[in-house]
Amino acid sequence: MRIAFVTSVGWPNLTDDDRLAVAELTRRGAEVQPAVWDDPGMNWSHFDRVVLRSCWDYHLRLPEFLDWLDRMERAKIALWNPPSLIRFNADKAYLEALAAAGVPGVPTLRAEKGEPADLAVLLDRQGWTEAVVKPAVSASAFRTRRLRREEAGAAQEDFTGMLADSAVLLQPFLPEIQTRGEWSFLFFAGELSHAVLKRPREGDFRVQHELGGSAVLQRPAPSLVKQAQTVCEHIQGPWLYARVDGVELVAGFTLMELELIEPSLFLGYDSGAPRRFAEAVLQAC
């Protein structure tokens, strides 16, 4: 079986995490090749499976990325996750859809691209004294900032600049991210593989490794696993992997992100995770 792990021009080679999966796939007789998603010379029909992995510039070039998805779909390439899910997940409007379906999540206010919006007025309207602001299409904490209500005036110019480029989301800041940490539940082909608990560095709120965050393998309470599994039940159609990110509040698990495009899978944190992922890739159909 020939498999492509889809990368981006800034990451033409496989990540350390993905190499663990490659080793397992190779042991099972598969051939795995990194493939840059926008490489015009790539023959995608050569592969039996095409798995999105480190296409970490898609949010900067969304129209081109969506065009690529369309071409892959027309060519009937076996892309995982499927194009319909990638389109659904590319814009964080999916959070509204999940909330409407009853999934507990962080309250989210959306300001549309190009529309005038006063940051202070929006925060006052929601009664939020501290908030997180992020683009509706983003990855790796791109242009994500935390601000207090009294900083809204100084932040207005940057907020307006963000709105010129894309829709923007506002959410109340959850201090539990700093005290309890943020969970990532890794599901492969519908089954929980493992979970990690991520924490930001001192004085920050972003948990990404490249921003100083840390993660440890952690066994979550069965109640948390059940709530994360419930989120996955809202994913339409077949899927290969999902990462459910959220924080444990007094009321229970609260969804922050459902990652279906290019999440880190933390394969190196659990000795059995690469094997489970490789088996899910080979069985995908």
Instruction: Clarify whether residues 273 and 209 are in a common domain.
Output: yes
Instruction: Clarify whether residues 184 and 153 are in a common domain.
Output: no
pLDDT in tens, the chain (285 residues): 999 999 999 888 899 999 999 999 999 999 999 999 999 999 999 999 999 999 999 989 999 999 999 999 999 999 999 999 999 999 999 999 999 999 999 999 999 998 889 999 999 999 999 999 999 887 666 678 889 999 999 989 999 988 988 899 999 999 898 889 999 999 999 999 999 999 877 766 666 766 556 789 999 999 999 999 999 999 998 999 999 999 999 888 999 999 999 999 999 999 999 999 999 999 987
Instruction: Clarify whether residues 14 and 41 are in a common domain.
Output: yes
CATH number of the CATH domain containing 80: 3.40.50.20
Instruction: Clarify whether residues 218 and 252 are in a common domain.
Output: yes
Cα 192 versus chain centre, distance: 16
Instruction: Clarify whether residues 203 and 267 are in a common domain.
Output: yes
pTM, to two decimals: 0.93
Q: Is residue 147 part of a domain?
A: yes
Instruction: Clarify whether residues 187 and 205 are in a common domain.
Output: yes
Instruction: Clarify whether residues 209 and 271 are in a common domain.
Output: yes
Q: How far apart are CA 74 and CA 92, in angstroms?
A: 25
Domain carrying residue 196? 176-283
Task: Please say which residue of 90, 124, 143 terminates a domain.
Answer: 90
Query: Count of domains in the chain?
Result: 3
Q: Is residue 241 part of a domain?
A: yes
